[in-house]
Amino acid sequence: MTKPAKTLFILCGEPSGETYAVRVARAFRRRFPEAPMEGIGSDRLEREGVRLLLNYSEISVVGLTEVVRHLPAIARALRAAARRVTRPDVGALLLIDFPEFNFRVGKQANARGIPVIYYVPPQLWAWRAGRARELARFTRGVVVPFPFEESILKEKGVNVRFAGHPLLDELGPYLDAPADPGRFGIPERNRVVGLLPGSRPGEIRRHFPLMIEAAKMIADRFPDVRFAVPLAEPGFREAITAGLTGNELPLTIVETERFLMFRGMTTALSASGTATLELALLGVPAVIVYRTSAVTYRIGKRLASVPCIGLPNLVAGRKFLPELIQDECRPEAMAREVGGLLADERRREELVATCRGLRGVLAGTGPSEAVVEMIAQNAGAVWG
């Protein structure tokens, strides 16, 4: 009687991490076509043949106060995930980003002898450098998206590899695609300013009202500007539509082909996160904004060891894109920074060139394949 095949368990907790998980699932399927996959994700991962233990919608939160409000759901999910990944039919655990949750689950899996691979680990070099040794203890291998992370984590004993940033794979077809605003109903004579409030409900609640107020000021000064809101998830349409109630703005909500929409943008207001790097790699200089609860901000500021938080600025090694964080994240300041880019084409083109230059810094041999190779090296025997 043949033993049932071991399962690869994939754990991600928000949309950008799931984007990377989808590509790994495809690469894993090519190498191990008969191996079952299970995990925490959404319907995107499920469409790749990954059976869902849980949908991450209830646990995708950011900031201390949001975590406290969602604590019962997070605790239930932690218990369910820990029970599942420590069962003997799990061949390996792949963690993607989502550190506070994934560290806990990863440690329990490691304690039961389950090989743990981490893809896109937390930015320990920016926030909690002491946890790098902790990462080394419970993982068999780590694949990082930024080249400077490799040497930092190696010094702490982590088996780490940089093989390129996964966004370059995702953005490949769009990197030099011609702008096509007409596809989204935007006349070519209009300049497009993107409004990207974030990929979590809490971020949308905090940022979108401020962005709308800024957009009103921008529209008054630049009548040729049209605004675009590319949804991080289709389910966010209701929250965005509610935020527009009573506001008359030349604005388009975009649910599909968001990267093609990015290519047509002159500039953008974007919450700090993956979207700022997506925009930069596509040649769009953004004004980076972020606001969180006062408690979360004070704690984060004490822990932070870097002078800026925007991913394009961190990759470039300097703050070349404007950042408006916490008390500076005000509509007037947003309108001023965007207005400066709209009024000074020479400066904007200089920033576009710097943005595009990040592509070479982040290029590599292929991160999804590197992740699968690490899984194969540490657990491949269970799949033959």
**pLDDT digits over 303-327, tens only?**
455 678 899 999 999 999 999 999 9
Query: Same domain for 376 and 309?
Result: no
Query: Which ranges of the chain does DSSP label H, i.e. alpha helix?
Result: 15-31, 43-46, 64-69, 71-85, 99-111, 131-138, 147-155, 166-171, 201-221, 237-243, 258-263, 274-281, 294-303, 311-316, 331-343, 345-362, 367-379
> Would you state the structure tokens that stand for residue 53, as one six-digit string?
């233990």
Query: Same domain for 328 and 348?
Result: yes
Q: Does 129 have pLDDT greater than 80? A: no
* Mean pLDDT of the region 86-99: 96
Residue 1 in domain: no
Instruction: Output the pLDDT for position 3.
Output: 63
Query: Same domain for 204 and 228?
Result: yes
Query: Same domain for 356 and 208?
Result: yes
User: Could you count the other beta carbons within 10 Å of the beta carbon of residue 243?
Assistant: 19
* Mean pLDDT of the region 275-300: 85
Q: Does 299 have pLDDT greater than 70? A: no
Query: Same domain for 194 and 333?
Result: yes
Taken in order 147, 149, 152, 158, is the CA torsion positive or negative?
Answer: negative
> Would you state the structure tokens that stand for residue 139, as one six-digit string?
């993982």
Residue 128 — pLDDT band, cuts 50, 70, 90?
A: low
- Count of domains for the chain: 2
Average confidence score pLDDT of the chain: 91
Query: Same domain for 159 and 12?
Result: yes
Residue 123 in domain: yes
Dist. CA 353–CA 281, nearest whole Å: 10
Query: Same domain for 339 and 215?
Result: yes
Residue 2 in domain: no
Query: Same domain for 213 and 106?
Result: no
Residue 202 in domain: yes
Select the more confidently predicted residue: 65 or 165: 165
Instruction: Output the pLDDT for position 64.
Output: 44
Query: Same domain for 156 and 291?
Result: no
Query: Same domain for 267 and 199?
Result: yes
Dist. CA 340–CA 344, nearest whole Å: 6
Query: Same domain for 89 and 238?
Result: no
Q: Could you list the residue range(s) of the whole structural domain that residue 122 is in?
A: 7-164+364-383
pTM assigned to the model: 0.86
Query: Same domain for 189 and 335?
Result: yes
CATH of the domain at 330: 3.40.50.2000
Dist. CA 34–CA 325, nearest whole Å: 48
pLDDT in tens, 21-52: 999 999 999 999 999 999 999 999 999 999 99
Instruction: Output the pLDDT for position 58.
Output: 74
Instruction: Output the pLDDT for position 223.
Output: 97
Dist. CA 86–CA 75, nearest whole Å: 17
